[in-house]
Amino acid sequence: MGTLFWIPRRICAGHLSRERSVLPYGMYVLGARSRHTREVLDVNRSQTRILLDQEELPKNYINILPYLKEPLPPPISPQTGEPVKPEDLCALFSRECVRQEMLPAKTLKIPAELREAYLRFGRPTPLQRAVGLERELKTPARIYYKREDVSPTGSHKLNTAMAQAYFAMKEGTGRLATETGAGQWGSAVALACAYFGLRATIYMVRASYEQKPYRGIMMRVYGADVTSSPSDRTKFGRRMNSEHPGHPGSLGIAISEALEDTLGNPGTKYVLGSVLNHVLLHQTVIGQEAIKQLEMIDETPDAVIGCVGGGSNFAGLAYPFLTKTAYKGVDFIGVEPEACAKMTRGEYRYDYGDTAGLTPKLKMHTLGADFTPPRIHAGGLRYHGVAPTISALILEKRIRAVAYNQVEVLEAGRLFARTEGIIPAPESAHAIKAAIDLAADAKKQNAAKVIVLNLSGHGHFDMSAYGSLMDGTLNGNAAGAA
Ligand SMILES: Cc1ncc(COP(=O)(O)O)c(C=O)c1O
């Protein structure tokens, strides 16, 4: 197995990996897969950037459904009050995604072409140690963040956009319609459609369309057709515009528009960026990679954190841990904005996924499908409900939720930018804020806690959010002076 070397901790550990089954703790192999140059190195936990080789990209998705204590309450038809039939959902979604929505198996193989797309666009992503942030906080905690910001569109959303576009393309669909809040999901769908040769129409929530014009341009660069929602393209959009001129829009309204578009245009399928089981399933590549990366440095998390809009990035990181008994005592924390606090303040009941009431009803924590969240900068978290599996896990007390206002969140984002160099998306800054609070508790208790958070996206298109923070015009639960 080659020659063993001991090296000082200061060596850049990004190029190292440990042969877990062979080597004792703290010994790592340089160029582990090269037969000739195996040098084992002692770097313990001084690694700051933990990388996986391409062949370590997960081969399967992990399905949380068989791991729930009770069967998940099914989506119900508002007309009949009965569980919806798969064929009803096929009018909207690709058949394969409908099948995945109710998958009984614990895992699902990722098709080779899709794995190739993941590799091409930056998976596996790094796990990085927040040494600068730790130093600034003077905490004994070790904080790690999963770098979903490195995807070309800037967030985790590409993981499911690629999958949904791929399955639709395989079934002969020529066009996808969707909504987008912050613009991250729309950008991901636009790129996925460009990659798999589909057309894309994207309804972008007006508040974000105005706050972030360059996101709209980015989607158009990839070839998508982008419109501000409420729009005049759909009956529902026209009704909203005439009843509430200048309405800021919401994810619920944009979803209604994309659904109406899909139902009125044969050959079009709808894709959703969060909430549904198949969407969360596709995101589980994140947590599987993180588990391997933490194993490489012999770390076991005490806390796993993600921000929650509909719940996909949090689930993507947390669910693979939740399915393993080794991680039983871990504190799984979903973080939401106070301005749209469905998990901490919503009711658990059946509700529509969209504002017009076109979707089946889902059993989830909700603020009500007609709730219009204030125009906070974290547009991707302005959603009235949450994934039914997340609600079920909250009720099982296997995960918990916290809420913050956007001033404290963006301050946390700014601190992260100054200490780690990465400007986080306002959505992701929610997870950072929760990690900072845990690290402060760890300091009080002098406990070397291991905290893992999902850096779900970068904030390069969110300068207006940081600008209003620095100008002092930011209001805790609404956007700036608007
Ligand atoms: C960067 C980023 N993080 C998080 C979210 C929230 O979505 P989810 O809860 O599905 O991860 C969004 C949604 O647009 C986003 O753009």
Mutational pocket test of ligand 1: of 456, 461, 462, the residue with most ligand atoms within 8 Å of the beta carbon: 456
Q: Is there a single domain that holds both residue 135 and residue 206?
A: no
Q: Is there a single domain that holds both residue 267 and residue 333?
A: no
Q: Is there a single domain that holds both residue 341 and residue 354?
A: yes
C-alpha 305/C-alpha 389 separation (Å) is 16
Q: Is there a single domain that holds both residue 355 and residue 397?
A: yes
426 is a domain residue:
yes
Kindly report the length of the chain: 482
pLDDT at 478: 66
Specify whether the CB–CB gap between 427 and 456 falls below 8 A: yes
- List Cβ neighbours of 102 (8 Å cut-off, separation of 6 or more): 65, 86, 277
Which residues have CB under 6 Å of ligand 1? 155, 181-182, 184-185, 274, 307-313, 380-381, 425, 427-428, 456-457
Nearest CA owner, ligand 1 atom 5: 380
CA distances from 405 to 14, 26, 451 (A): 35, 40, 21
Q: Is there a single domain that holds both residue 307 and residue 169?
A: no
| DSSP annotation string for 380-438 | GG--S---HHHHHHHHTTSSEEEEE-HHHHHHHHHHHHHHHS--B-HHHHHHHHHHHHH
**Total domains present in the chain:** 3
pLDDT at 34: 41
Domain boundaries, position 34: 3-47
240 is a domain residue:
yes
Joined together, the tokens standing for residue 410 give: 């963006």
pLDDT at 379: 87
Q: Is there a single domain that holds both residue 229 and residue 203?
A: yes
Max distance between CA atoms of the chain, in angstroms, equals 74
Residue with tokens 């921000």: 307
Which of 277, 303, 327 is the last residue before a domain boundary? 277
Q: Is there a single domain that holds both residue 144 and residue 248?
A: no
Beta bridge partners of 128: 49, 145
Q: Is there a single domain that holds both residue 97 and residue 217?
A: yes
413 is a domain residue:
yes
C-alpha 264/C-alpha 177 separation (Å) is 11
pLDDT at 451: 98
Q: Is there a single domain that holds both residue 231 and residue 364?
A: no
Mean pLDDT by 10 residues, the chain (482 residues): 32 37 35 39 68 98 98 94 95 97 97 98 98 98 98 98 98 97 94 98 94 94 98 97 94 94 96 97 99 97 98 99 97 98 98 92 97 89 96 98 97 98 98 98 98 98 94 76 29
**Ligand 1 atom having least distance to the Cα of 184:** 16
43 is a domain residue:
yes
Taking the model in full, what pTM does it have? Answer: 0.90
**Ligand 1 atom having least distance to the Cα of 182:** 14
Question: Would you tell me how many other CB atoms lie within 10 Å of the CB of residue 68?
Answer: 16
